[in-house]
Chain A
Amino acid sequence: MPAPRILILRAPGSNCDGETQFAFERAGGIAERAHINRLREQPALLHDYQVLVVPGGFTFGDDVGAGKILANQLVHFLGDALRQFRDAGKLILGVCNGFQALLKAGLILPPDDAGPLATLTFNTSARFEDRWIHLQAQGDKCPFLKGYERWEVPVAHGEGNFRCREGAILQKLEQNQQIVLRYVDSAGNVGPYPVNPNGSQGDVAGVCDATGRVLGLMPHPERHVLPTQHPQWTRRGLAPEGDGLRLFRNAVQFFQ
């Protein structure tokens, strides 16, 4: 199989598109960036790609609510195209602001009669924070996370607090193995702030859809691709690669 093609969807205020492209290229994919206006004009552009990424940033300034305006555009202008993309066995990834947008667009957890199942709201610290955290991968439902156990990446957000409408929803997601990433400490135990950096219910850092092929996560795997990106490499020595690179390689290899 030739290397898969990855579309990185840009919108006004996206700002992690460059490093996301870098990560996919390091992983052996062919990554391109496109403005959402291009895709709105021509949703069929998606046919040329196997992976769609909504990268991090502050789309539309996070005015109104983080990722909300982008979510609105995804629903109204690209809803059908995105569902077709997913149903064709392809992969969709949302990182940070991309996760907020995909979740609020209902593309990860489709709403039921009573409305959305979950949201991402303000950190309990009530402020934006950039810090490194440990993640624990769970289950084998999500192809992006194949082979992951415990790994380190940074978070950098003000609205990453995952909240379900009711406790039962979280339980159901757990049963379905859709809670695929949790915040833990270096020993693998869950804990209060700052181990859980934003107060997320159930220490949830990443969620996938029912197929497993649509993943949203708050932490930034694209910021831990090179070993020099780790905050303690001068203490521990340089690793062969950053922990986040595997996620991008998994996506590329899914099609090979």
Chain B
Amino acid sequence: MLWEVEIHLKGQDAERKRISAEFDLLTHTKKGNSLIHKATRGYLLDGPTLQRGHIDRLIQELLVDPLVETSLVSQLPEPRGGSHHGTATLRARFEMATVLLKPGVMDPVAQSVLDAARNLQVPLQEAHTFRRYFIPPFALEQTTYFPGEKEDSLKEQLYRVLANEAIERIVEGAITPKDLSSAKPYQFERVTVPIRDLDDAELEKLSQGGQLSLSLAEMRTIQAHYKTLGREPTDIELETIAQTWSEHCSHKTLKGQIDFQGRRIDNLLKETIFGATQEIRKRLGADDWCVSVFEDNAGVVKFTDRYHACFKVETHNHPSAIEPYGGANTGLGGVIRDPLGTGLGATPICNTDVFCFAAPDTLPQQLPPGVLHPAKIMRGVVSGVRDYGNRIGIPTINGAVCFDERYLANPLVYCGTIGLIPVDRMRKEPKAGDHIVALGGRTGRDGIHGATFSSVQLTAESEKVSGGAVQIGNAITQKKLLDVLLQARERGLYHAVTDCGAGGFSSAVGEMGAELGATVALDRAPLKYEGLSYTEIWISEAQERMILAVPPAHWDEFQKLCAGEDVEATIIGTFEQTGKLKLSYQGESVGELDMHFLHDGRPAVLRQATWTAPAQTAATTPPKKEAKTNFTYDLLKILASYNVCSKEWIIRQYDHEVQGGSVIKPLVGVHEDGPGDASVVLPLPCASDGYVGLAVGCGINPHYGDLDPYWMAAAAIDEALRNVVAVGADPRRTALLDNFCWGNTNRPEVLGSLVRAAEACRDTALAFNTPFISGKDSLNNEYRSGDRHIAIPPTLLISALGRVPDVRRCVTMDLKAAGNQLFLVGATRNELGGSHYHLVNGLKGGEVPHVNLEQAPGVFAKLHAAIQQGLIRACHDLSEGGLAVAVAEMAFAGGLGADITDLPKLGPETEEVLLFSESPTRFLVEVTPANAVAFQSSLKDVPLAAIGVTTAEPQVRIAGAGGEWIISAALADLKEAWQKPLKW
């Protein structure tokens, strides 16, 4: 019998408030409040022998907290006239819209209710959750009269806020059993795809129609291969090749051949980023501290005697564009499995997240078809990361948010995870005869074609066509997996492990067995529900799954360990020395692929790349009748810009302290709300060995890329290094990660900008001796629909992982005491190109900031030495907004004033350059008078100027060359400007 339990929260109706605020935000109206009368939530509970008594028991013991909630039960279908007493009035007076998950979408809460009901011995067989909204009658009947071309009815607008059609659906009125149709059983049928006789047009059609996302050259290669074999491929073989050869899995552009304006590049990655690392490792010789770079699921470096540290950053852009919560949720969930699948498994100790959005106040009528509002995307993404990270218990400690209108249709979501791996648990190698074991979550129809979907551009239809690529994560399933995996690691129960990411089993088994061969019986994989074809099982990207190679001798112990913590482990096949990937279903062969063809058979890609520097333009500073004499308003505007303003709203929603390793938190200062440069952790497993810690920072600035992607990349590396060095990391023990998010690299000018950036990565890494240890690229971040075409600006995220020799020497950016001296470290040049001063004033052109590759390494080394000697009280790097913003942030974070009276010491440039230029490799440093001399001699040969003092007056003042104050503002006003924009 099917029962409905509807739950009403006593007191404030937060969900109603959320919906009405979101509606107003998306439509720029004040109507949200009048459209929803009340929001409730509930459960649909089904079972052939489920009686009212069972339901009452569930309510009393499990589902309802009587102090804050009330509930209403009804049996479905409802008898005519309705049986409700309490809601009878509600239902009589209001329209009812109920939001249900689409069939096959993960519902973690329903799963928990099923498990808990079993403990209570209630015969529950099926459970679904729902959200419900009561809408005043006639409220939706008026049509809208918004400015712009939108013709949507009010109802469509509201429904778009209530549910995301990628994963949810709305049922109007009472629910009936047929709203909960369950999946149909699967009828096995082996499918072959005739390919040998197709012409080019037909090959292309097959690739597109089947969502294979393969090029014509690739399709031809596959055709030739099967002609040689003298047979047609099966569907699963084609899918496996498409997954393995996808841009997402094989990075064929970065590793392919490029004709760069006549110069031939054979493998961009090898010749730039990877090449630089090899060169640095050679230079280091016996002191090489890299352990594993660009080969495993994460880059690994030495950390302490007992542990190595590993780091991986991934992107999850396309899914987040369509379903922000699920996209970001599984983005973080996915990257957590990378360290787990590195070596024999690393313990995740912290996460990072970096987002790029269009401005949250974008006008709704500017949205192209099929595109969600950036504010909705931002809220969804932040919640998705929050819920996964907090639940699994890994602190999110570092991040950044970038805003630019070109991210409107393609938001970027970068998630990273750092792990600790015991030094004797690095080596992994599956052996012939090992069981292929699927561990963790079950396989469902979620995330089909994620790898190929992420390799193409988005359109207005993406939401509908590719909804299957979107998933919701279940952090607790992954936490359980993590708990047993790490115990099995300690006991040495398996030979190899890798995660199921893009491509699902097909990639995980294919990669792990690449040197051996593997046989997989697809019918053995545990499924979430029936109805999946063998191909769907093979390529499903259902979350929270790992593949292990478990020797038969350890299987019993491994299985027992997993069962003891309610984690499912299933043998789905065997690794064998055959060089073949053999797939079967119910005893019948459905595919057999040659590992060599699969991994090395892809034809090389040759792409054209060009780059033309934008014509060198002088900054378009408007001609002035008289010299500008006050810059206070410019400073306030920059502080209040979305890029610079406080991200406290996001940071506080993340648990950044779980696991107890936190030493420097993302929010610092006297009120614990100032913008720290980088976070530092002393992982507790290492705390008994000493005080060696890890600093985590990042650099990103797409605005420089508009002028020159080369200097954008150099500046991003410099910024990531500045952040970690500013808190106390050793620049000679700092590792870098690259994440390229670019547009469509089939366009030569887009690929050319990528080449420029990659070359800068090589040059800058070599200059700083900072090796890249891991990276990832996400191309095709473009949107096309009708005549709208939006490409993201080339966006390079550099993440830095620095070793802190002694965390007790760490420094934060907040001013510490009045009467101390302020020094500017580093040279200030006329580099306002791409600066925030230009951005907030609508100015263009100018010189993009250049990293002085000869001088900068010395600046970092000497500053680090001064921090190690304890000579520094506060240190803040100069980034967006330059000196003026750095002074203001240090002052209000410390609750102290600052008087900068010696600006001319910085050079002959104009005041606006000295205040706002974003020349890299600069720090503002607070030093006590007692340490001033020692500090100065410690920074010998580095550009250094004593420019001011800290004061007890709650104000920031900066004097111009004539001695008059060109900036003067109260701390409270500066802080208010900085905190207000995202105080949601």
B931 touches A (CB below 8 Å): no
Q: Are A58 and B662 in contact (CB-based, < 8 A)?
A: no
Q: Are B660 and A72 in contact (CB-based, < 8 A)?
A: no
Q: Are A61 and B566 in contact (CB-based, < 8 A)?
A: no
Q: How far is the CA of A238 from the CA of B654 in the complex (A)?
A: 26
Please give the distance in Å from B786's CB to the nearest CB on chain A. Answer: 38
Q: A128-B386, A163-B68, A234-B664 are in contact. Are A58 and B391 (CB under 8 A)?
A: yes
Please give the distance in Å from B603's CB to the nearest CB on chain A. Answer: 46
Which stretch in A62-70, A83-91, A170-178 binds the other chain? A62-70
Please give the distance in Å from A71's CB to the nearest CB on chain B. Answer: 9
Chain A contact residue count (CB 8 A cutoff): 59
Q: A37-B566, A64-B62, A116-B66 are in contact. Are A156 and B672 (CB under 8 A)?
A: no
Q: List 19 A-B contacts (CB under 8 A).
A: A12-B565, A22-B660, A35-B565, A61-B474, A61-B475, A61-B476, A68-B65, A72-B61, A72-B62, A76-B119, A116-B66, A121-B65, A126-B12, A127-B653, A226-B687, A228-B682, A229-B663, A234-B810, A235-B816
Q: How far is the CA of A126 from the CA of B479 in the complex (A)?
A: 25
Report B461-506 residues with CB < 8 Å from chain A CB: 474-476, 479-480, 483
A160 touches B (CB below 8 Å): no
Report B107-141 residues with CB < 8 Å from chain A CB: 108-109, 111-113, 115-116, 119-120
Q: Are B119 and A72 in contact (CB-based, < 8 A)?
A: yes
B63 touches A (CB below 8 Å): yes
Report B651-702 residues with CB < 8 Å from chain A CB: 651-660, 662-665, 667-670, 672, 682, 684-685, 687
Q: Are B668 and A231 in contact (CB-based, < 8 A)?
A: yes
Complex interface bits, A117-136 against B, C-beta within 8 A gives 1, otherwise 0? 01101101011111110000
Cβ contacts under 8 Å, A115 to chain B: 66-67
Q: Are A69 and B112 in contact (CB-based, < 8 A)?
A: yes
Cβ contacts under 8 Å, A165 to chain B: 67
Q: Are A12 and B116 in contact (CB-based, < 8 A)?
A: no
B657 interface neighbour in A57, A72, A223, A235, Cβ under 8 Å: A223
Q: A61-B112, A119-B67, A234-B810 are in contact. Are A73 and B652 (CB under 8 A)?
A: no
Q: How far is the CA of A35 from the CA of B50 in the complex (A)?
A: 31
Cβ contacts under 8 Å, A62 to chain B: 391
B518 touches A (CB below 8 Å): no
A16 touches B (CB below 8 Å): yes
User: Can you name the residue of chain A whose Cβ is closest to the Cβ of B813?
Assistant: A234
Q: Are A35 and B807 in contact (CB-based, < 8 A)?
A: no
Complex interface bits, B37-80 against A, C-beta within 8 A gives 1, otherwise 0? 00000000000000000000000011101111000000000000
Q: Count contacts between A and B, CB distance < 8 Å.
A: 168
Assuming A56-B658, A68-B65, what are 16 further A-B pairs, CB within 8 angstroms? A14-B393, A18-B684, A64-B62, A64-B112, A77-B119, A115-B67, A116-B66, A119-B67, A121-B67, A126-B14, A128-B653, A156-B657, A231-B665, A231-B667, A234-B816, A235-B670
Complex interface bits, A50-61 against B, C-beta within 8 A gives 1, otherwise 0? 000000111011
Please give the distance in Å from A149's CB to the nearest CB on chain B. Answer: 21
A185 touches B (CB below 8 Å): no
A225 touches B (CB below 8 Å): yes
Please give the distance in Å from A140's CB to the nearest CB on chain B. Answer: 28
B338 touches A (CB below 8 Å): no
Q: How far is the CA of A222 from the CA of B120 in the complex (A)?
A: 33
Please give the distance in Å from A220's CB to the nearest CB on chain B. Answer: 8
Q: How far is the CA of A13 from the CA of B652 in the complex (A)?
A: 21
A154 touches B (CB below 8 Å): yes
Complex interface bits, A189-226 against B, C-beta within 8 A gives 1, otherwise 0? 00000000000000000000000000000001011011
Chain B contact residue count (CB 8 A cutoff): 65
Q: How far is the CA of A130 from the CA of B684 in the complex (A)?
A: 19
Q: How far is the CA of A128 from the CA of B389 in the complex (A)?
A: 12
Q: Are A16 and B658 in contact (CB-based, < 8 A)?
A: yes
B936 touches A (CB below 8 Å): no
Report A146-187 residues with CB < 8 Å from chain B CB: 154, 156, 163, 165
Q: A69-B62, A76-B120, A226-B687 are in contact. Are A12 and B479 (CB under 8 A)?
A: yes
Cβ contacts under 8 Å, B669 to chain A: 232, 235
Q: Are A38 and B564 in contact (CB-based, < 8 A)?
A: yes
Q: How far is the CA of A88 from the CA of B14 in the complex (A)?
A: 44
Q: A61-B391, A63-B113 are in contact. Are A228 and B14 (CB under 8 A)?
A: no
Q: How far is the CA of A228 from the CA of B66 in the complex (A)?
A: 42
B808 touches A (CB below 8 Å): yes
B979 touches A (CB below 8 Å): no
B735 touches A (CB below 8 Å): no
Q: Are A58 and B475 in contact (CB-based, < 8 A)?
A: yes
User: Can you name the residue of chain B whose Cβ is closest to the Cβ of A104?
Assistant: B65
Q: Are A129 and B14 in contact (CB-based, < 8 A)?
A: no
Q: How far is the CA of A226 from the CA of B66 in the complex (A)?
A: 40
User: Can you name the residue of chain A whose Cβ is closest to the Cβ of B654?
Assistant: A130
Please give the distance in Å from A125's CB to the nearest CB on chain B. Answer: 9
Q: How far is the CA of A177 from the CA of B200 in the complex (A)?
A: 83
Q: Are A131 and B663 in contact (CB-based, < 8 A)?
A: no
Q: Are B480 and A64 in contact (CB-based, < 8 A)?
A: no
Q: How far is the CA of A69 from the CA of B66 in the complex (A)?
A: 15
B392 touches A (CB below 8 Å): yes
Q: A22-B684, A58-B475, A118-B67 are in contact. Are A130 and B652 (CB under 8 A)?
A: yes
Q: How far is the CA of A129 from the CA of B655 in the complex (A)?
A: 7
Please give the distance in Å from B340's CB to the nearest CB on chain A. Answer: 15
Please give the distance in Å from B367's CB to the nearest CB on chain A. Answer: 26
Q: Are A163 and B390 in contact (CB-based, < 8 A)?
A: no
User: Can you name the residue of chain B whose Cβ is closest to the Cβ of A234?
Assistant: B812
Q: How far is the CA of A13 from the CA of B108 in the complex (A)?
A: 13
Q: A129-B653, A130-B656, A229-B663 are in contact. Are A61 and B672 (CB under 8 A)?
A: no
Q: Are B658 and A156 in contact (CB-based, < 8 A)?
A: yes
A253 touches B (CB below 8 Å): no
Q: How far is the CA of A61 from the CA of B472 in the complex (A)?
A: 14
B116 interface neighbour in A35, A56, A60, A131, Cβ under 8 Å: A60
Q: Most chain-A Cβ atoms within 10 A of its Cβ — which of B17, B18, B479? A: B479
A15 touches B (CB below 8 Å): yes
Q: A19-B659, A69-B112, A130-B657 are in contact. Are A35 and B14 (CB under 8 A)?
A: no
B811 touches A (CB below 8 Å): yes
Q: Are A37 and B660 in contact (CB-based, < 8 A)?
A: no
Q: Are A15 and B566 in contact (CB-based, < 8 A)?
A: no
Q: How far is the CA of A123 from the CA of B131 in the complex (A)?
A: 20
Q: Most chain-B Cβ atoms within 10 A of its Cβ — which of A15, A76, A121? A: A15
Q: Are A64 and B119 in contact (CB-based, < 8 A)?
A: no
Cβ contacts under 8 Å, B65 to chain A: 65, 68, 104, 116, 119, 121
Cβ contacts under 8 Å, A77 to chain B: 119
Q: How far is the CA of A29 from the CA of B874 in the complex (A)?
A: 38
B814 touches A (CB below 8 Å): yes
Please give the distance in Å from A229's CB to the nearest CB on chain B. Answer: 6
Cβ contacts under 8 Å, A15 to chain B: 391-393, 479, 658-659
Cβ contacts under 8 Å, A225 to chain B: 660
Q: Are A156 and B687 in contact (CB-based, < 8 A)?
A: no
The list of the 3 closest CB pairs from A to B, nearest first, reads: A15-B393, A19-B660, A63-B112
Please give the distance in Å from B395's CB to the nearest CB on chain A. Answer: 9
Cβ contacts under 8 Å, B657 to chain A: 130, 154, 156, 220, 223, 229
Q: How far is the CA of A63 from the CA of B43 in the complex (A)?
A: 12
A69 interface neighbour in B116, B662, B811, Cβ under 8 Å: B116
Please give the distance in Å from B320's CB to the nearest CB on chain A. Answer: 20
Q: How far is the CA of A238 from the CA of B691 in the complex (A)?
A: 13
A119 interface neighbour in B17, B68, B386, B814, Cβ under 8 Å: B68
Q: Are B659 and A18 in contact (CB-based, < 8 A)?
A: yes
B662 interface neighbour in A72, A119, A229, A235, Cβ under 8 Å: A229
Q: How far is the CA of A156 from the CA of B116 in the complex (A)?
A: 26
Q: A68-B62, A69-B62, A76-B120 are in contact. Are A12 and B672 (CB under 8 A)?
A: no
Cβ contacts under 8 Å, A63 to chain B: 108-109, 111-113
Complex interface bits, B563-579 against A, C-beta within 8 A gives 1, otherwise 0? 01110000000000000
Complex interface bits, B381-401 against A, C-beta within 8 A gives 1, otherwise 0? 000001000111100000000
Q: How far is the CA of A249 from the CA of B779 in the complex (A)?
A: 55
Please give the distance in Å from B349's CB to the nearest CB on chain A. Answer: 10
